[in-house]
Chain A
Amino acid sequence: MVIDTIKRAVTNPIQTANDARIYSLNAMGGRTNGIEGGLGWVWASLILFFLDLFAKDWHIESLFGFKGINFKSLINEVFSDYMWIIRVGFSSVVLIILVAYIIFGKHNKEEIFSFSLIVVFTAIILSLIGYFNFMPGIIHLLFAWFMMFGLFQKSMPKQDAHMLLAVMLFIDFFAFSLVATIPALAWFNRAIIPIYFFVSLNYTRPSWVKNWLIFAIVLFYLLQVTVANVEFRTAGERMGDDSKLSFIQSLGRVKEGITNIFTGVKQGYQQEKEETKKDLMGTSYVTEVDAKSKQDLGITIKSFEPFSSIYTEGDNVTITAQIIGRNIEDEDKIIVTGVCWGKSSLDSKPVMGKIGTSNSNMKDNFTMTISMYDPRSINCFFKNITKGSFTATINLTFNDTSQGYLTSYFIDRDRFITLKSQEIDVFTTFGIPVRVPISKSTNGPAKVGIVTVDPPILIPENPEDFSGYIGVSLTNNWFNGKILGLNSMEIIIPNGLALDCENLFTENGYDDITNDKKYILTSEEINNIKKYKIENVVSRTCSIKLTDRNAVLGQSPFVTKYFRSNINYNYLVKKDATVSVKSKPKDLSTTTTTTTVANTAIQTSTNVINPSTNTADTTSTPTTNSNIIAQEENTNLMIGGA
């Protein structure tokens, strides 16, 4: 084959050279029938791209780092001296050659036209290129011509290939420079748009490499636009520091953008969740717990203490809680449900205890009713506690009601304006000491806060001119508990006003004493709230409208009114007690024993008891009881449960 090649090269050098050219091009990219180009052009264009990008760093500026033709400088340069005549003449010569080509070649009209176009274009480039960077420009020119011959001319009609070459040349030599004059389009440069790479990729035959490259490009540009906040400087000059820096920065931003996407999505979800929860839960309005309100409302765990503070491993522990309770209505009782659980310092797994008022009624959970000032005791029982520090917790859940009210003042609007215009202060005139009252709440596990328009609230002649709002919140008031859920929220507003949010509150009659209008939170809204953990605060706000001016003001020029709220909720209160659990004293026996828990008798003698048979044995084997903890060598230790 080699000898044949040599023979052919000697007899027909032109054909051989052509074959060699085709072979090398095909080797780089393969045959291009349709879009069947090889990847070689892709890599080549990438190589050219990076060579231009890092020409300065690699000290190859004489060959690479092409930056196109700068039109501004071009005008100055071209017509700066008499040499322009020569340049134009040169171009004319090229044109003459073209004509000859047309006459002496077998080409159709489209081919002739398109070929002429690219030849003229090339000639113009050649004539201009000397003003800027000659060799880099020549290399780009040749690269483009070779790409046309080697890649896409085979996959399309010649005239189309010629036109594509013309477009490529225009973009590479002129477009970037032209667009760079527009500041808003500074991103349009060869650093961001490697034209040869795109074209070669387009005409490469399908492959997984091509697919991944396309995906990477799409993602890259998508991130550029949406995340990276691209700010590229004009690349009208050589593809040097600015473009390179922009590109490197762009890559960094892409990476940052990808990271931010995932982080942002997560944060966004968390934030959205928190915002939704906050929107749903609301804010805590300022309120003051009235020190003179009923004390000890709700359930209070007065004490939670064990019989002893030190136990031995395997002991049973009983911890007694003293609780008192008081309903907001003195005659009513409070229903309390309790559970006990504990955790050893050496074992993260919590254990459930039994709870009850006496040994005969110890259960997993216990329910009882408590009357006002009727202290009750509840026991928590834990079996066979392990050594270490054991913390027992009693959780009590109960239903409670908190009340709150907000004092406000009302006055005829026109009267107030007139007084104000005379610089008369209504609060001073009527002897009102507190101008902006703060809502008051009952004592208890949670406090009620209420806010509305700052007083005095102006009542106009025309109800349509009135606008107001009310906000009600329930806020956790105890550090050792949390709000579990909302059962009902009632708002009572002065007669003559009405709530204006039908989707949240519905009318619920009138107050017996004040004849004020009552509203309750809808069941749909309560169910909505149940989707989220409340724990600390839940609130709702609503607009207020004026329905009866005379009902609000009555006969008084300056009247006091109240906004009230009663909220019923479930509350959890808990208390901890810690006992120290020592290890069982060691026995002098050298026999090996196993330690078990539960359902075996306690024995402190030197004999070893077989848990299975509950008889003395010189040896013992671990039982299959699920509560088996450990095996100890050379000890005679046994624990068991009652």
Chain B
Amino acid sequence: MKTKIIILMIIMALLITGCSGKSKDKEIIVVDIHKGIGELEFDFMTNMPPDRLYSKEEYTLGIKLINKGSYDVRNGFVTLTGDPGYINVEGGLSTSKQLTQLTGKTNYDPRDSEQVVTFDSNIDFADTGFKEHSSNIVMTACYDYSNVFSTSICVDSDPYNLKAVEKTCTVKALNFQGQGGPVGISGVETTYSKKNDALYPRFKITISNFGKGELFTPGNSEAFCSSKNIKRETFNSITLKKLDFGDMILSDFECTPSNIVLNMDKAEIVCKLPEGSPKRLSDDTTTYTSQLSIEFDYGYSIAKSKMITVIQG
């Protein structure tokens, strides 16, 4: 009998010690990845190449790319251009390689993705009368990227404050610092026009290039990173892919301009619901908030150079 009681007490003790209560360090954190500025960063790897190269030698040039943005790098290319007569890259003056491993962050895995690209090079010395030569090698990365924006917008059914009803929200201009990419929405101004007991929203959306690179129409990465002729309309051009507000979608809106072109790293687009649209809002409601979602794709290009001293061997 006593043995049974002892065994039962041991089991109970085990059960009691096994229960530790609510554990704080096992809390799941969801990161909002669509925030801030993030872009593809790249640089030469340490000593790949070294700052001084000797002629008649071969070196491996390594470039490490880090996707610090929130979106996948699609159709990405990196081009490395050497110095004629001094630094030959893969047997020629310049070579391009694809970027395939640079995925975007996720809410549950907010880590940056990386990819290392290497280039073989051989060093010459074209001017025999000199002992050293300063060469400038240039890296250029071109890729397609995305931007996802979402925010709550106040729907004010009484824009002229005719009703003596307390409003739960106010319509105001909103500013943002990016959505996890080098290009993003930097501001939204909402206004409503009222006609025949209906509300028609109007959004003035500001898109900014927060990064240091150049914008182009998606799908032109390979051309942009090469010497090909680039048409003017390809530069700094963005096309909205999605604009949802409540049950309204992009096609319900009239957006001007239809083709967005950034000027001085900024562009403004005005999207309004046309009068008479069946998706107009009723003004017979109290003030409330609704979700505005905007998405667009774009191409982005960044470049970097490095000065290397080539020594005649």
Contact = CB atoms under 8 A, between A and B. Distances in A.
Interface of A: 290, 292-294, 297, 328-329, 401-403, 405, 412, 414-415, 417-419, 421-424, 429-433, 440, 442, 461, 494, 511, 513-514, 516, 550, 553-562, 564
Nearest to A405: B127
Interface in B121-158: 124-132, 136, 138, 140
Interface string B214-230: 10000000001111111
B235 A418 contact: yes
B94 A556 contact: yes
B214 A557 contact: no
A412 B234 CA distance: 15
Contact of A559 (B81, B224, B264, B303): B81
- In the A-B complex, list the 3 residue pairs whose CB atoms are closest, starting with the nearest: A553-B227, A431-B305, A442-B129
Given A555-B79, A557-B140, A412 B228 contact: yes
B304 to A, nearest CB: 6
B93 A559 contact: yes
Contacts of A513: 85, 124-126
Contacts of A403: 127-130
A564 B140 contact: no
A418 to B, nearest CB: 5
Given A415-B230, A494-B84, A556 B129 contact: no
B138 A558 contact: yes
B231 interface: yes
A274 B96 CA distance: 55
Given A430-B303, A513-B85, A556 B93 contact: yes
B85 A514 contact: yes
Contacts of A561: 84
Nearest to B303: A430
B83 interface: yes
22 contacts: A290-B130, A403-B127, A414-B231, A418-B230, A418-B231, A419-B235, A422-B235, A430-B140, A431-B138, A432-B136, A461-B229, A514-B84, A516-B84, A554-B81, A554-B94, A556-B79, A556-B81, A557-B224, A559-B94, A559-B227, A560-B83, A561-B84
Nearest to B264: A423
B232 A564 contact: no
Nearest to B306: A431
A494 B93 CA distance: 12
Contacts of B257: none
B307 interface: yes
B93 A431 contact: no
Nearest to A552: B227
B92 interface: yes
Contacts of B225: 557
A554 B83 contact: no
A556 B227 contact: yes
A258 B88 CA distance: 70
B181 to A, nearest CB: 19
B236 interface: yes
Given A292-B131, A419-B235, 14 more contacts: A292-B132, A328-B129, A412-B227, A418-B230, A418-B235, A432-B305, A514-B126, A550-B227, A554-B93, A556-B138, A556-B140, A556-B227, A557-B225, A559-B94
B79 A429 contact: no
Nearest to A428: B212
Contact of B126 (A328, A442, A564): A564
B263 interface: yes
Interface in B42-96: 79, 81, 83-85, 92-96
A559 B140 CA distance: 12
A555 B138 contact: no
Nearest to B312: A294
Contact of A294 (B92, B93, B131): B131
A511 B126 contact: yes
Interface in B209-260: 214, 224-232, 235-236
B138 A293 contact: no
Given A412-B228, A429-B214, A560 B84 contact: yes
B224 A560 contact: no
Contacts, number: 126
A421 B307 CA distance: 29
Contacts of A511: 85, 126
Contacts of A554: 81, 92-94, 227
A414 to B, nearest CB: 5
B129 A294 contact: yes
A513 B230 CA distance: 31
Contacts of B127: 403, 405, 564
Contacts of A556: 79, 81, 93-94, 138, 140, 226-227
Contact of B130 (A293, A418, A550): A293
B236 A328 contact: no
A328 B229 CA distance: 42
Contacts of A329: 128
Contacts of A494: 84
Choose among A415, A553, A555 the residue with the greatest number of B CB atoms under 10 Å from its CB.
A555
A559 B95 CA distance: 12
A71 to B, nearest CB: 74
Choose among B81, B127, B128, B132 the residue with the greatest number of A CB atoms under 10 Å from its CB.
B127
Contacts of B232: 414, 417-418, 421
A293 B227 contact: no
A151 B95 CA distance: 103
Given A293-B130, A294-B130, A429-B214, A558 B81 contact: yes
Contacts of B262: 422
A418 B262 CA distance: 13
Contact of B138 (A430, A440, A550): A430
Contacts of A419: 214, 235
A495 B92 CA distance: 13
B306 to A, nearest CB: 8
A623 B37 CA distance: 104
B18 to A, nearest CB: 61
Contacts of B130: 290, 292-294, 403, 440, 442
A422 B236 contact: yes
B226 A555 contact: yes
Contacts of B263: 422
A423 B236 CA distance: 12
A448 B270 CA distance: 60
A431 B228 CA distance: 20
Contacts of A433: 136, 307
A622 B292 CA distance: 123
A415 B229 contact: yes
Contacts of A417: 232
Contacts of B229: 412, 414-415, 461
A560 B138 CA distance: 9
A297 B129 contact: yes
Interface string B294-313: 00000000011101000000
Choose among A297, A423, A442, A558 the residue with the greatest number of B CB atoms under 10 Å from its CB.
A558
Contacts of A553: 227
A562 to B, nearest CB: 6
A433 to B, nearest CB: 7
B56 to A, nearest CB: 11
A397 B264 CA distance: 62
Contacts of B96: 555
Nearest to A415: B230
B17 to A, nearest CB: 63
Choose among A401, A412, A431, A461 the residue with the greatest number of B CB atoms under 10 Å from its CB.
A431
Nearest to B135: A560
Contacts of A424: 214
A431 B303 contact: yes
Interface string B103-129: 000000000000000000000111111
Given A418-B232, A422-B235, A560-B81, A555 B126 contact: no
A555 B227 contact: yes
Contact of B304 (A415, A423, A431, A562): A431
A554 to B, nearest CB: 5
B301 to A, nearest CB: 8
